[in-house]
A and B are shown apart, each in its own frame.
Chain A
Amino acid sequence: MSKTSAKASAASSDARHAILGRIKKSLAQSPDGGRGAATQTDAQRLATVKARLAAHEVQSTLQRVAKSPAQLVALFRSFLEGQSASVIDVAKPADIAAAIAQYLRENNLPASLRMGDDGYLAAIDWSSEANLTGRYGAATDSDAVGLSHALAGVAETGTLFLASGADNPVTINFMPATHIIVIRQTDIVGSYEMAWDRIRKAYGDNTMPRTVNMISGPSRTGDIAGVLVRGAHGPKDICVIIVKDD
């Protein structure tokens, strides 16, 4: 460590001490005693915090997701369509390649995909689509179409959860003007909290993927005189492919 950065880090550590100390002092001095900060011991307060962090308690649920799995899929789809995404159903994984090729043709898009290669995407059988080419790895500015796999879909607002990793580059979600996202129907759940549970199961407690992107439609802006325009910086079009049977 260089001299200046050692000095800077000491200053930051002093600041840390001062800020945390001031927080505690202010709470203890406040008329409500900081809700226990004045009366409880440090150990008691810490125990409260640790218990809350470990419990992962769901704080709220919406009536709209108290539904059967099929109804949740319908809700998921209707929110996404309302947010101007296209949704395509396919019966089985073997149909994914053809559905993508058809979507690209119908929208006059190049038959070339930038894609991740996680287990699910790597298993797609492309043999029926000889014209379609795919490139793995991080997206570049010249990629027109990206293909990703969502870990979960949430019906309450039509939101896809995508986790980045060695085989799911995060740039695919934002660089290409068209983003195709594949999701298994069985991965569509009701609430955000249910999606977090799935992520905790897949990655372990307290261990998040480096990036989790919640995506609910194409990129948009209202910054020019309040007019809604799609494709501000990220994709102009989002196509979600729901795979029914796995």
Chain B
Amino acid sequence: MQATSRDFKDNAHQAIKDEQLQQALSGLPTGFAAARARARENLPEFEQLRDIGRDIKDHTLAHLDLYLAEFERRAIAAGSQVHWAATAADARRIIADICIKADAKLVAKGKSMISEEIALNEHLIKQGMEVAETDLGEYLIQLRGETPSHIIAPAIHLTRDQIEADFRKAHDRLPAERLLNEPEQMVAEARAILRQKFLAADVGITGANFLIAETGSTVIVTNEGNGDLTQSLAGTHIVIASIEKVVPTLEDASTILRLLARSATGQETATYTTFSTGPRRNGDPDGPGHCHVVILDNGRSEMLAGAFRDVLRCIRCGACMNHCPVYNAIGGHAYGWVYPGPIGAVLTPSLIGVREAGELPNASTFCGRCEAVCPMRIPLPKLMRKLREREYGDGLTPRSFLIGLKAWAWFARHPRLYQMGANLVLPLMARMGARRGAFKWLPFAAGWTSYRDLPSPQGRTFQKLWAQQLQQDQDQEQEQEQEQDQVQQQNRLLARQPPPEQQASTGEAGSHGEAS
């Protein structure tokens, strides 16, 4: 997929103006986030599970080469073929070769973000194959020639009316007068059409939520069951998975499964979790005759060397985007590549480079909600800050921003000049803006004033207010010291007199009794 992350600002502007997108996004904050909050309340161990999940992934990543080798050994023993792809292009070529060898005309696909990352569909279509996305959300966006806007709800940006229009256009052999305004009717229509694709498919391609080193199994998690029909009905099953998907044992996967659905959709569990180990066995009446696992690196092995290793703990639940105010305002497409939201803002620059994706780490209000909900405790804001540093270090920060920053830095190092300037400008601005209390327009500040007013300053600088505050504090301290001196003097006088009668203590006991 061609990245447009460089155009993030323009993309975001368009997204905010897009009324249909805004309508589609309006339900997001109340949906997934609220459901996650309920699921978390129902599980007292949730926060503890996050620690354990993080530790499982950290351990696995620290031994990733060995767990991958172990996975490969077990998968081959179960009859799978394992392929290694260093780059997206390698993965595309390997998968196309398998499809060509299987004489594939129709390829059915389960939802896979990795297949989006390597732009698999376009490649297979170029080789003359038909590719049918079978996850309902993926099917919807395939009809429109779009990319996913959310990693677990790829068509979340579409309204019911848009979907009806698309179905009427694409399913033109069905009677035009049919009813198609209820989601149930649309699901039934898609089910019937996609069922034929499952049955006719020569190859089924799925992603993997996990690879299990202990058993050589690949795991998919779905609610629709489309991945299962994809991999059970075609003669050849291809799994495409990135290196960080491996976990040691079934027990490790079980713990992470406890976090996945709850973090993603707020479900206690997804409807279907399927562990597949090798091709059809002797006597099996169904299942694929051939099973291939393609393991993709595409830049990840290098991420292990530094702070961005933490990103490889990600289990692609989407909680960070569900809780992100920026994502909620602009949706996923504005991020310009496969992974949107906070995880996209840190993953995309690592995978396609800071030069291509440098804008994305700036798409944050640093509110910290992404880190607060991440089941794998990935420090997303910290990593975004690091990427901003890298952007600055590589000289990719916009010129106007740099000039402004340099000017400010010079003044900041010359406090007297800074104060002089501030004392000149601020009172002037205060007088100019006094009537409205705010500015609608200011030179060099269009980035701010195009969208909101800038409140006019109150006339005094922070430094002046601070100095004033200090003076007040000192005065107060002096007063207090004087008072204390007086009290001490009085005490000394009282000490010479007999003690007063003890009434206060009984009153206190009474009030305690009332309170309890």
Binding site for B on A (CB under 8 A): 4-5, 8, 11-13, 15-16, 18-27, 29-31, 34-37, 45-46, 48-49, 52-53, 55-60, 62-64, 79, 83, 137-139, 141, 157-159, 164-166, 169-171, 173-175, 191-193, 196, 206-227, 229, 231-235
| Complex interface bits, B218-246 against A, C-beta within 8 A gives 1, otherwise 0 | 00000111101100110000000001000
Residues on B with beta carbons closer than 8 Å to the beta carbon of A138 = 285-286
Other-chain residue from A49, A191, A234 in contact with B228 (beta carbon distance below 8 A): A234
Asked if B470 is at the interface (CB within 8 A of a chain A CB), the reply is no
| Chain B min CB distance to A62 (Å) | 6
Establish whether residues B285 and A137, one from each chain, have CB atoms under 8 Å apart when the complex forms.
yes
Other-chain residue from B83, B213, B302 in contact with A12 (beta carbon distance below 8 A): B83
**Contacts A26-B301, A35-B62, A56-B249 given; does A232 touch B187 at CB 8 Å:** yes
| Chain B min CB distance to A236 (Å) | 9
Give Cα A57 to B91, complex, Å: 34
Establish whether residues B224 and A221, one from each chain, have CB atoms under 8 Å apart when the complex forms.
yes
Establish whether residues A210 and B62, one from each chain, have CB atoms under 8 Å apart when the complex forms.
no
| Complex interface bits, B37-67 against A, C-beta within 8 A gives 1, otherwise 0 | 0000001110011001000101101111111
User: Nearest residue in A to B221 (C-beta to C-beta)?
Assistant: A214
Establish whether residues B64 and A224, one from each chain, have CB atoms under 8 Å apart when the complex forms.
no
Establish whether residues A5 and B101, one from each chain, have CB atoms under 8 Å apart when the complex forms.
yes
User: Nearest residue in B to A194 (C-beta to C-beta)?
Assistant: B254
Establish whether residues A56 and B43, one from each chain, have CB atoms under 8 Å apart when the complex forms.
no
Q: Can you add 7 more A-B contacts, CB < 8 Å, to A27-B64, A159-B269?
A: A62-B258, A157-B269, A192-B254, A223-B137, A226-B27, A226-B153, A229-B184
Establish whether residues B62 and A196, one from each chain, have CB atoms under 8 Å apart when the complex forms.
no
Establish whether residues B258 and A60, one from each chain, have CB atoms under 8 Å apart when the complex forms.
yes
Establish whether residues B258 and A170, one from each chain, have CB atoms under 8 Å apart when the complex forms.
no
Establish whether residues A208 and B78, one from each chain, have CB atoms under 8 Å apart when the complex forms.
yes
Establish whether residues A226 and B225, one from each chain, have CB atoms under 8 Å apart when the complex forms.
no
Establish whether residues B136 and A223, one from each chain, have CB atoms under 8 Å apart when the complex forms.
yes
Establish whether residues A210 and B255, one from each chain, have CB atoms under 8 Å apart when the complex forms.
no
Establish whether residues B158 and A20, one from each chain, have CB atoms under 8 Å apart when the complex forms.
no
Asked if B163 is at the interface (CB within 8 A of a chain A CB), the reply is yes
User: Nearest residue in A to B91 (C-beta to C-beta)?
Assistant: A15
Establish whether residues B94 and A8, one from each chain, have CB atoms under 8 Å apart when the complex forms.
yes
Establish whether residues A208 and B52, one from each chain, have CB atoms under 8 Å apart when the complex forms.
no
Establish whether residues B284 and A219, one from each chain, have CB atoms under 8 Å apart when the complex forms.
no
Asked if B305 is at the interface (CB within 8 A of a chain A CB), the reply is yes
Asked if B206 is at the interface (CB within 8 A of a chain A CB), the reply is no
Give Cα A25 to B301, complex, Å: 9
Other-chain residue from B183, B243, B251, B282 in contact with A193 (beta carbon distance below 8 A): B251
Some 26 contacts from A to B, beta carbons below 8 A apart, are A15-B297, A19-B84, A20-B68, A23-B65, A23-B68, A27-B305, A36-B62, A52-B249, A53-B70, A53-B213, A53-B248, A57-B249, A57-B251, A59-B52, A60-B45, A63-B44, A138-B285, A158-B268, A170-B287, A174-B228, A220-B224, A221-B224, A225-B158, A225-B160, A233-B194, A233-B226
| Chain A min CB distance to B322 (Å) | 12
Residues on A with beta carbons closer than 8 Å to the beta carbon of B198 = 233
Other-chain residue from B134, B233, B272 in contact with A219 (beta carbon distance below 8 A): B272
Establish whether residues B187 and A229, one from each chain, have CB atoms under 8 Å apart when the complex forms.
yes
**Contacts A15-B86, A59-B255, A223-B137 given; does A23 touch B158 at CB 8 Å:** no
Binding site for A on B (CB under 8 A): 24, 27, 31, 43-45, 48-49, 52, 56, 58-59, 61-70, 72, 74, 78, 83-86, 90, 94, 97, 101, 134-137, 140, 153-156, 158-160, 163, 183-184, 186-188, 191, 194-195, 198-199, 213-217, 223-226, 228-229, 232-233, 243, 248-252, 254-255, 257-258, 265, 268-287, 295, 297, 301-306, 309
Instruction: Name which of A141, A158, A225 has the most chain B CB atoms within 10 A of its CB.
Output: A225
Establish whether residues B232 and A174, one from each chain, have CB atoms under 8 Å apart when the complex forms.
yes
Establish whether residues A56 and B277, one from each chain, have CB atoms under 8 Å apart when the complex forms.
no
List 6 tightest A-B contacts by C-beta distance, closest first: A234-B225, A166-B283, A232-B224, A26-B305, A223-B137, A35-B62
Give Cα A34 to B280, complex, Å: 39
| Chain A min CB distance to B389 (Å) | 16
Establish whether residues A141 and B163, one from each chain, have CB atoms under 8 Å apart when the complex forms.
no
Establish whether residues A165 and B213, one from each chain, have CB atoms under 8 Å apart when the complex forms.
no
Establish whether residues B140 and A141, one from each chain, have CB atoms under 8 Å apart when the complex forms.
no
Give Cα A217 to B302, complex, Å: 41
User: Nearest residue in B to A60 (C-beta to C-beta)?
Assistant: B255
**Contacts A29-B305, A59-B252 given; does A225 touch B163 at CB 8 Å:** yes
User: Nearest residue in A to B262 (C-beta to C-beta)?
Assistant: A157
Residues on A with beta carbons closer than 8 Å to the beta carbon of B85 = 12, 15
Give Cα A173 to B135, complex, Å: 17
User: Nearest residue in B to A172 (C-beta to C-beta)?
Assistant: B286
User: Nearest residue in B to A64 (C-beta to C-beta)?
Assistant: B43
Establish whether residues B160 and A213, one from each chain, have CB atoms under 8 Å apart when the complex forms.
no
Establish whether residues A48 and B52, one from each chain, have CB atoms under 8 Å apart when the complex forms.
no
Other-chain residue from B62, B187, B214, B225 in contact with A37 (beta carbon distance below 8 A): B62
Establish whether residues B306 and A30, one from each chain, have CB atoms under 8 Å apart when the complex forms.
yes
Give Cα A229 to B58, complex, Å: 37
Establish whether residues B224 and A53, one from each chain, have CB atoms under 8 Å apart when the complex forms.
no
Establish whether residues A233 and B140, one from each chain, have CB atoms under 8 Å apart when the complex forms.
no
Establish whether residues A191 and B254, one from each chain, have CB atoms under 8 Å apart when the complex forms.
yes
Residues on A with beta carbons closer than 8 Å to the beta carbon of B277 = 208-211
| Chain B min CB distance to A204 (Å) | 11
Establish whether residues A223 and B214, one from each chain, have CB atoms under 8 Å apart when the complex forms.
no
Residues on B with beta carbons closer than 8 Å to the beta carbon of A35 = 58-59, 62
Establish whether residues B272 and A234, one from each chain, have CB atoms under 8 Å apart when the complex forms.
yes
Residues on B with beta carbons closer than 8 Å to the beta carbon of A227 = 160, 183
Residues on B with beta carbons closer than 8 Å to the beta carbon of A170 = 228, 232, 286-287
Other-chain residue from A12, A37, A210, A216 in contact with B270 (beta carbon distance below 8 A): A216
Residues on B with beta carbons closer than 8 Å to the beta carbon of A191 = 254
Other-chain residue from A208, A220, A223 in contact with B271 (beta carbon distance below 8 A): A220
**Contacts A192-B254, A220-B223 given; does A210 touch B278 at CB 8 Å:** yes
Instruction: Name which of A24, A36, A60 has the most chain B CB atoms within 10 A of its CB.
Output: A60
| Chain B min CB distance to A83 (Å) | 7
Residues on B with beta carbons closer than 8 Å to the beta carbon of A31 = 306
Other-chain residue from A30, A49, A159, A214 in contact with B66 (beta carbon distance below 8 A): A49
User: Nearest residue in B to A34 (C-beta to C-beta)?
Assistant: B62
Establish whether residues B226 and A171, one from each chain, have CB atoms under 8 Å apart when the complex forms.
no
Establish whether residues A174 and B304, one from each chain, have CB atoms under 8 Å apart when the complex forms.
no
Give Cα A216 to B271, complex, Å: 5
Establish whether residues B199 and A234, one from each chain, have CB atoms under 8 Å apart when the complex forms.
no
Give Cα A206 to B66, complex, Å: 17
Give Cα A224 to B275, complex, Å: 27
**Contacts A23-B64, A53-B70 given; does A60 touch B272 at CB 8 Å:** no
Residues on B with beta carbons closer than 8 Å to the beta carbon of A225 = 24, 158-160, 163, 183
User: Nearest residue in B to A30 (C-beta to C-beta)?
Assistant: B305
User: Nearest residue in A to B275 (C-beta to C-beta)?
Assistant: A212
